[in-house]
Structure formats: structure tokens, C-alpha cells
Amino acid sequence: MAREKVPGIVAIFSYLDDICKTVETIDKRRDFDGHEVYSHTSYHELIHLAEDKYGSSEVKWFTLVGALTGVCSGFAMCLWMDYDWPIVVGGKTAGIYSLPAYVVFGFELMILLGALATILGMFVMGRFPNPKDTVLDPRLSDDKFAVYLPGVSPDSEQAKLLKDLGAEEVYSTTGR
Amino acid sequence: MVSIWQGSYREIVWGAFMSDAVDWDKSVSDVNNGVLAATGKPHPTFYVALGLSLVCLVIGIVAWALQITYGTGMAGLNSPVYWGVYITDFVFWVGIGHAGTLISAILFLFRAKWRNSINRSAEAMTVFAVITAGLFPLIHVGRVWLAAYWMVPLPNTNNLWVNFRSPLMWDVFAISTYLTVSLTFWYMGLVPDLASMRDRTRGYKRLIYGFLSFGWTGTLRQWHHYEAGYGFLAALATPLVLSVHSIVSWDFAMSVQPGWHTTIFPPYFVAGAILSGCAMVYTLVLPFRKMFNLEGFIRHEHLEALIKLTLLTSTIVAYAYGIEFFIAWYSGNPYEWIIFQKRAYGPYAFYFWVMTFCNCVFPLAFWSKKVRNNTTACFIICVLVNVGMWFERYNIIISSLVEDFIPGSWGHYEPSLTEIAITIGSFGWFFTWLLIFCRFFPFVSMSELKLIMPKPMRPKDKSLAA
């Protein structure tokens, strides 16, 4: 089912310390439920706040599962193909006795599938690509920060609080 | 007398990872405007460079077409030298590709700030260099349309599988993994910048950049998982970059050929690869930053740190050259020792001395801070290092193959015109892709560059903030 756009407000910030203080403040308040914070880059101050908010990233589990699948499939592929049709070269017996040579395949596939699974994790957990999502303000990929809050107007108490916290601009939006 | 030798080895090693503090004259707000303005309108020299690259590419395509038509005899490969310029080119281009991952992954884990201004260009260089390297085994085997059956585990008509104990098979997996991981690492780094480009364009361009950026919006949730994932990708790419050239070196070291069968090869190849890669990054970044007006973002402090890294790897390579000779003598193996003597004084001595001077002697000038800050001198030395690294691979491959255990099978090898033309073509192929990339995509990682610039903090003086 397609997500419906909810009108709300966008508060634009220019300074990192202002947006950090805002995130700390509004995260504790129930009247800011459903808000979203935007940044043009990954300042460590914001990433630390995100860890407090969302907890440790689950991407690590994608990496672990991908890497383990890779290392097992690398060894399994070599052993299966070796037993399917043993190729004895230079008197070296096939199969389990050649395991040291197969470390390379286990290692390479561990890295390959681990990396691909990590990217899958970044997409799934970051909830993108999302064709329904819209760009709130083009300045957010340039040098501004923002807070989007659905279901309120620029005259609301929440908008006043955001202005007090350093927002330079608060305007209404048709939603994201 | 003022000594020109400035800086201890410790300072060089430290400087290779931590650049000097930069006195920025630009702010975070200037990044997108500065980087993207140049992307749309490059300097006229861009078109000259693109034209030259296309000419080189056409030369290579014609030579390859002739080789396919008339057979691999045109390559000049014959007993006892079955690996010639094509394998030299393969190892050279794989080596070039190593600095990109070193700069983007290893220096990321070390939190070396200077890498943020050049990591995009280094990663692009890696991707195109590895693609170029991947062409050479195909060119080398001749009947390129059959290569899939020789290179990947597909059952052939006799239901045989490939030989997993062959280092050549290890190489196929290593290089294809390296290409895939480098490509994805590079592309994921591009995603926030593509979103910036989408937000500045209109019409079909906006649609294309929007599609390429996967609808990135820059929410805190996205950055949170993106940063975690980027760190894991860097952690996976780090052992990968060290393994890939080690595996390439096993193509040689696993044989019993004198001059190849040595345990020093993996670290020696990795150090050489990083040396050539760093030199190539400098060779590319210097003209490109002028071409795209990026001098304000790729600062001389960053270039100096890159030169320190080049010097550091040059000293490791020089040490490896020395130890290789020592082992050949100390082993008491007459076949091994005579090969090394002939490398220095035999018919291929020219290649050996070019290699030694370009990789070990000329970079010594980088000990001087004056030279490190002279971009013209650094550019010339870096080009020489690239020449030296190509000669190193040529020297290793050819001098060991021409004379093995049986004097009756000894021979001589000179590159044919076809091989030279295809080598020129490989440079054309590499530079064409790189120039096209720079024309349409940001050459500097904007989102990462903002992280090393002064943070946008509210000024203490309230009138300034207003």
C-alpha cells in the first residue's frame, strides 16, 4: 500500500551545535513523535545521537551473515567440484587434502558476499531506495540541516520551540 | 649550510597518515558550488586530454582487432617467453588499482583526514585500472570469446571443472572480487553526492541523478546505517587489497622458475602496487584539479601527504629489491643467483636500472620539503615512478623466462608493435573512462570533504550569527 503524504513543518538549521541540541531536546518529547532529522553529511556528533536514538546499526548482522555464507560457499564449491570430477595435477590428490589451496576461494567469497550483504543492509535499514520519498528542500544536500515534523502547522507550539532552538526558518510542507 | 634533507623517517611515516592542519579559506557552504560548478564546464585542456585518450584507444582497438584476425603470433610471444607485455600490463594495471583502496579504505580506518579530498579520484582510478587490467588476460589468451570457459568454473564439453589448485584460478577470483568490491565501495560513496547533483538539476538530468542516487534524502537514519555500512566495507576492503596483489604475486612465486620462486613476493608486490598507485593518483590529481578548478579543495597539504606516502612505499620497495638480491646470493642456489646477476648486468640490464633509479633513487628527492611542495618536480618524479613500476614487472617476467634451467631452450624477447600498440591503447581506454567520469560526476567527494572542513558552529558573537 502506498504511503500517504502527511502535511507538516520543516525547520531549517545552519549550525551543527543547534541541530544537535534540537535532536537531544525533541527526542525526549512525545509531541515530536514521527519527526525526521536531515543532514548534508555525517557529522560524528549527529551519528552519536543517532546511535542513542536507533541503537547500534543492524548492518553488522547483514555483513556477518554474508561473510559466513561466502566462506562456506567458497570451500563447498571447490570440494563439490573436486569430488564431482577429480583433477589430479602434479600428483596432488583432490578433495579434502587440497584444502589449503581452497582457502583463497573461501576468503575471496567471504569478502565478496560480505560486502554485497553490507550494501543490502545499508539499503534495507536506511529504507532506500524509496520512490515515494520526496526531497523536502534542496538545501539539505548542500549546507543546511532540518527537522521535519508531520501533522503540525508553523503556528504550533512545536514550531515555536524549534525556532527557540535555533531554526532559521520554519515553513509548512505538503509532506515527504 | 641548510640541509635539504628535512624530516625524519618517523615524520614521513606519520605524515603519510596524518596531514598537517589545513588553514581553509573556504567553508562547508562553498563545497557544492565549487565542486559542481567545475563539473559542468571543464577547462579546454579537458577536451585536448579526451581527444588524445581517444586516439590512443583507437590505436589499441585496431591492434587488438588485427591480433584477433591474424592470430596471437602478432604478439611476439614464443618459446620460451609465453608471458610478455600483456601480463606485464596486467600486473601494472592491477597495481595501479591498489592505491585507490588503500586511500579509501585503509586510510579511512586510520582516520587520516587528508584522504577525504582525493579518495573519490583514487577510487575512480582503481575501478578503471582494474577494468583495464581485466582486459589483458583476455587479450593474452587470443580467442577471447572462449575465455569464459577457461576462467570461470563452468563445466565444459567433457564435464571438467577448472583446476582450483592453480594460482591462475585464484587470480580470477581475487581480481573479480576486487573489482566488484571496489566498484560498490566507490558507488556507495557517490550516492550522497549524486543526491546533491539531483537537487541542483532540473528535467531529465534530475531524473537520471535521482535514479542513480537511489532516492537518497539524507535522513539521520540513512546516515546512521550508511556510516556503519561504509565502515564495514572499509574493513572488508582492507584485507582484500592486501590479498589481491599477494595472489597476483603467487602467479609467479608458486612456480619453480628462478627469480620468481621466492616468499618475499607477496609483500614486495603489495608495496610496489601501492607505490605505483600513489604515484598515479598524484599524476592524475595534479592536472585534474587544475582542469576542474579544484585547487581550493585539493590542497597542497593533501598532495604533500600523498607524496609522503609515496616516499614511504618507495623505501619499502627499495628494501625489498635489496633483500631479494640478498636471498638469491645467501640461498646458495646457482640458478637463482645467476638470474639476479644477469638482471643487473645481462642483456636486460637497461630495464633493471631504469626500474631501480625510477623506484628507489628519484623518489629520494621527496625527503626535501622544498621538493614535496614543488608540484612540477613531484609530478615528474611520479611519472618516472610509474615508468619504473612498469619496467619492474617487465624485468621480473621477461628476465626469468628467457633463461631457465635448460640452456638449449634459452631465447630472447622484444615487445612487438602489436603489444606496444595495445599497451598504448590500454592507457587510452583508462583515461577515456576517467575523463568521462570527471565530466559528469564530482571528482571530489563533497559529503566527505565537508567533514574535514571547519564545522558549521554558531559563532560566539551573536551579531555574526544573525
In a domain, A137, yes or no: no
Nearest to A38 among B177, B180, B218 (CB): B218
Collapsing DSSP to helix, strand or coil, A173 comes out as: strand
Q: What is the pLDDT of residues A27-46, one digit of tens each?
A: 888 888 889 999 999 999 99
Nearest to A111 among B192, B240, B447 (CB): B240
Task: Give the Cα separation of B159 and A163 in Å (integer).
Answer: 72
Q: Could you tell me which chain A residue has the CA closest to the CA of B239? A: A111
Task: Give the Cα separation of B189 and B249 in Å (integer).
Answer: 30
Q: Which residues of A touch B170 (CB under 8 A)?
A: 101, 104-105, 108
Same domain? A71 vs A98: yes
Q: Is B32 an interface residue toward A (CB < 8 Å)?
A: yes
pLDDT of residue A2: 47
CATH placement of domain B9-455: 1.20.1630.10
Place of cell 623518489: B363
CB contact under 8 A, A16 and B29: no
CB contact under 8 A, A39 and B232: no
Rounded to 5 degrees, what angle do the CA atoms B359, B315, B7 make?
Answer: 115
Task: Give the Cα separation of A52 and B224 in Å (integer).
Answer: 11
Task: Give the Cα separation of B26 and B457 in Å (integer).
Answer: 15
Q: Which residues of B touch A69 (CB under 8 A)?
A: none
In a domain, A138, yes or no: no
Task: Give the Cα separation of B2 and A9 in Å (integer).
Answer: 65
212-231 in chain B: CB under 8 A from chain A: 214-230
Closest CA to B170 of A109, A84, A97: A109
Q: Is B408 an interface residue toward A (CB < 8 Å)?
A: no
Q: Which residues of B touch A112 (CB under 8 A)?
A: 177, 180-181
**How many domains does the structure of chain A reveal?**
2
Contact predicate B39/B205, CB 8 Å: no
Q: What percent of chain A has pLDDT over 70?
A: 95
Find all residues with CB under 8 Å of B290, minimum gap 6, and list them: B43, B45
Nearest to A78 among B160, B164, B177 (CB): B164
List average pLDDT for each run of 10 residues in chain B, which is 466 residues long.
58 71 82 84 90 97 95 88 93 91 86 87 94 93 79 72 88 94 93 92 90 91 94 94 94 91 93 93 93 89 92 95 94 92 92 96 94 95 96 94 85 92 97 93 91 88 58
Nearest to A131 among B181, B215, B243 (CB): B215
* Strand pairing report for A36-38 and A8-13: unpaired
Q: Is A47 an interface residue toward B (CB < 8 Å)?
A: yes
Same domain? A121 vs A68: yes
Same domain? A81 vs A112: yes
In a domain, A50, yes or no: no
Q: Which residues of B touch A176 (CB under 8 A)?
A: 217
Distance from CA of B67 to the nearest CA of A (A): 32
**What's the ipTM?**
0.93
Nearest to B225 among A57, A87, A138 (CB): A57
Q: Which residues of B touch A63 (CB under 8 A)?
A: 229, 232, 236
Backbone angles phi, psi at A170, to 5 degrees: -130, 120
Identify the domain containing residue A81 by its residue range: 59-126
Distance from CA of A1 to the nearest CA of B (A): 19
Nearest to B224 among A57, A67, A82 (CB): A57
Q: What is the reported pTM?
A: 0.92
DSSP 8-state class, residue B19: P
Distance from CA of A156 to the nearest CA of B (A): 23
pLDDT of residue B426: 97
Contact predicate B432/B57, CB 8 Å: yes
Same domain? A23 vs A70: no
Q: Is A136 an interface residue toward B (CB < 8 Å)?
A: yes
Q: Is B31 an interface residue toward A (CB < 8 Å)?
A: yes
Contact predicate A9/A172, CB 8 Å: yes
| 3-state SS track over B169-214 | HHHHHHHHHHHHHHHHHHHHHHHHHHHHHHHHCCHHHHHHHHHHCC
Domain-wise residue ranges, chain B: 9-455
Closest CA to B451 of A112, A110, A125, A40: A40
DSSP 8-state class, residue B463: H
DSSP 8-state class, residue B365: G
In a domain, A131, yes or no: no
Instruction: Pick out chain A residues at pLDDT < 70.
Output: 1-5, 175-176
pLDDT of residue B26: 84
Q: DSSP H helical segments within B299-374, as ranges?
A: 300-330, 334-345, 349-356, 369-372
Backbone angles phi, psi at B78, to 5 degrees: -155, 165
Angle between helices B265-291 and B300-330 (to 10 degrees): 160
Same domain? A118 vs A153: no
**CATH code of the domain in which A12 resides:** 3.30.70
Task: Give the Cα separation of B304 and B97 in Å (integer).
Answer: 21
Q: Which amino acid belongs to residue B446?
A: M
Task: Give the Cα separation of B433 and B124 in Å (integer).
Answer: 9
Collapsing DSSP to helix, strand or coil, B78 comes out as: strand
